[in-house]
Structure 1
């Protein structure tokens, strides 16, 4: 049940003291002059003093937009541009016939070129950095190797099944399934599996298709009747070798085939791990960064990985079984693990408190947050690499890091999700010049201990 109960025998009762709901504006048509780009694949417009976030528009256009969410009292409205009265010169015909108002919600920028979409993403990153972190920096969103037109790159696709048994993708901000015959941003092997065609039997609610770096495509139907299989992904770097890693077919992995290799190469180049160093890999997943870091720090070095997902931690243990370094994997909430004695035990002491020479953070979209960054700063690393898929969360966390004595040393942004609003940023932080690398840390008895996973599972 929701928080509001139903009344029997009469209309819904309104709690005392609360004003009546404001009239909805959903379905209204508005003529708008579109302004700058906003975070989330939207552009900003105004109508009679109310902010409107418009999808399927471009800066500088004049459009007729249909309101999709909001009331007369809402701080802002959401709308779809359903008619273009004055087109921007960058507007193109979408490559996908299922892209547009009311259709598939997977892509945000099919109506412009991939080059211009990268300019829009760069504007968003710059604006978030300036607004949330006070950082004024030029940003270029770079194409990944092998990228050209922004199409045919996605190696993992999650399809939903509608009540008629047809597969498709969900509409924007909706559970409604839009049946499609193919996906323009997916690699061709996805369609060849037959996942888009045919009739799915009753009870099947979704289909996940994975085209791994090694081996044949895999389809997993939902709900799962069998254990989820693992697939093998290959990470190839120009300077640091190649590793194959096992990962669940439904686990987290970068969906662009060049993403993992590019990110590993850049992180290692910026951090410059040295033999014998102690490295902390937070939100380590199946160990993609930890595997290459272990090669660099060598047999006298230490790599500690922390991951909240038990299946991913088990796979990381497999992937790192033959690592050259002393590797420790901890399964648990990152914040709780950092606040427990576990980190000191695994990293070892430097003076009277635990210490890491390098830290890699690859948090979920919500970011790491103040608590995690305070704990990381207390480890006094000489450098940290922060891998982020959300520029707003990154900017917020960079502001926390600055308060803790770490400044932005370098930033690169990669178009790991062409045609969508998503962008991957890698920020490298180092101590402020002249900043003493000493930070207060709670005594161990004041911290909460969390569980951890080793090679034989949770202990």
Structure 2
């Protein structure tokens, strides 16, 4: 065993040099020829790591930084001790997930995300681009909008519950739930609930939504099998009276009212939206306005979005993009809204009931496009993390739109789909990237795609 390797009671520790950033929130290091995916490091650092996944025959290992031997100038004190790797492992436990870049300056975080996006585009789509990742949020003193501290932006948060009934969060790639007593990335409306003071025995998961417009928050409780109504009522009595509370069965996708309403009211781009408790909504408080502006900006500037146009909003959710599209095309145009989740599609019907030019269809995008073939001037595509996929991309190309605005939260599936579009004779005509998830490895992209030539 080399002098830079030592065995501890908690596992094997190695000293490695941290290499380039990779998609997924880690950097690449090597030990005796084996790849080690290191979390909580910065490229160029020399660190001691604790192996967290290290089967002898595995092609690669995973590890967390426990000590920084040669620090990057971009390293900053972590804002959250519970998510700080070195501090957490010093207390004998892993850090919670969800703030894996909290030790990196915000400016460097964005440059690392830019590197990841550029690498994915080059490898999966043969596109040579290095787009800047734009900050989103309040500006600090000066002329540059740098997103402020990168804290207090989450309007939605998901928590686990410890065996003793305390609010907690999972460690990365682990079933272990670690108690928490704050959520620095969340808006004040979530932290003000002080859920960590509530006895949550009988609950498996807790989902919270606190709209940025200040409307009534919603707490969703996912009870464990066999949890009695008496236990739910006990939890209800510990929560503020002005908060809506509902129970949620993720397997049946059923939401049952306990107090108040089972939905929240969101606002964006001059519209109000009803969003069912388990329905999708962008989690950064400024994300809806930012993404609507980017999408409509691309389409307006290209002359693809004008009165009388025929457009479609695919994976439309509760109608974030559908409503401003309806405004743009007017009553002489048409908007097809397609959403797979029944509850979310019902939300869209309520949100767009005053727009006769909007047709809302609930179903899988590929099925709806197959059953209702038509031509469009423009399409908006906002798929889940897995992306659209080759079959859907082929259907979109066959519908012969003049342009497609593609919104993505995953650079890997996004780059793969861009490759499919290029194979079908399309080109990447515009691209913007946004840091909608500060202190995490995630980013959001908005692309404009047009037929080549």
2:413 alignment counterpart: 393
Q: Please give the alpha-carbon distance, in whole angstroms, between the structure 2 residues aligned to 1:59 and 1:197.
A: 39
Matched residue, 1:123 = 115
Match of 1:196 in 2: 196
> 2: CA distance between counterparts of 1:275 and 1:160?
48
Structure 1 residue 244 displacement after superposition: 0.6
| Alignment counterpart, residue 311 of structure 1, candidates 343, 366, 371 | 343
Which of these residues, 368, 386, 389, is aligned with residue 337 of structure 1?
368
**Is 1:418 paired with 2:438?**
yes
Distance 2:282 2:290 in 1: 11
Aligned partner of 2:286 in structure 1 is: 258
Cα deviations across residues 209-228 of structure 1 (Å, max 9, x unaligned)?
21113412222222326247
1:326 paired residue among 346, 357, 372 = 357
How far apart are residue 271 of structure 1 and its match?
0.8
1:244 alignment counterpart: 272
Alpha-carbon distance, 1:276 to partner? 1.1
Q: Distance in 1 between matches of 2:328 and 2:70?
A: 55
1:93 aligned to which of 70, 77, 102: 77
User: Aligned Cα RMSD in Å?
Assistant: 1.3
Aligned to 2:212: 213
Equivalent position SS for 1:173:
coil
User: What is the Cα deviation at residue 117 of structure 1?
Assistant: 0.6
Give structure 2 stretches of 5+ with no counterpart.
Answer: 1-9, 86-93, 139-146, 224-246, 249-255
SS at match of 1:316: helix
Provide the aligned length of Structure 1 versus Structure 2. 390
1:28 partner SS: strand
Match of 1:48 in 2: 32
Distance 1:378 1:311 in 2: 29
Contact 1:209 1:219 survives alignment (8 Å): yes
1:109 aligned partner: 101
- For residues 177-219 of structure 1, the C-alpha deviation after alignment (integer angstroms, 9 at most, x for no partner) is 110110111112211112122322x311122221113412222
Aligned equivalents of 1:311, 1:166: Cα separation in 2: 30
Q: Please give the alpha-carbon distance, in whole angstroms, between the structure 1 residues aligned to 2:319 and 2:198.
A: 37
- Answer whether contact 2:113 2:441 (CA < 8 A) is retained: yes
- Per the alignment, residue 5 of structure 1 pairs with none
Conserved? CA contact 2:218–2:263, under 8 Å: no
User: 1: CA distance between counterparts of 2:328 and 2:379?
Assistant: 14
Please tell me whether the aligned partners of residues 265 and 273 of structure 2 are also in contact (alpha carbons under 8 angstroms). Answer: yes
- Per the alignment, do residues 191 and 278 of structure 1 end up closer, same or farther by CA in structure 2, a change over 3 Å counting? same
Moved more, 261-270 or 143-152: 143-152
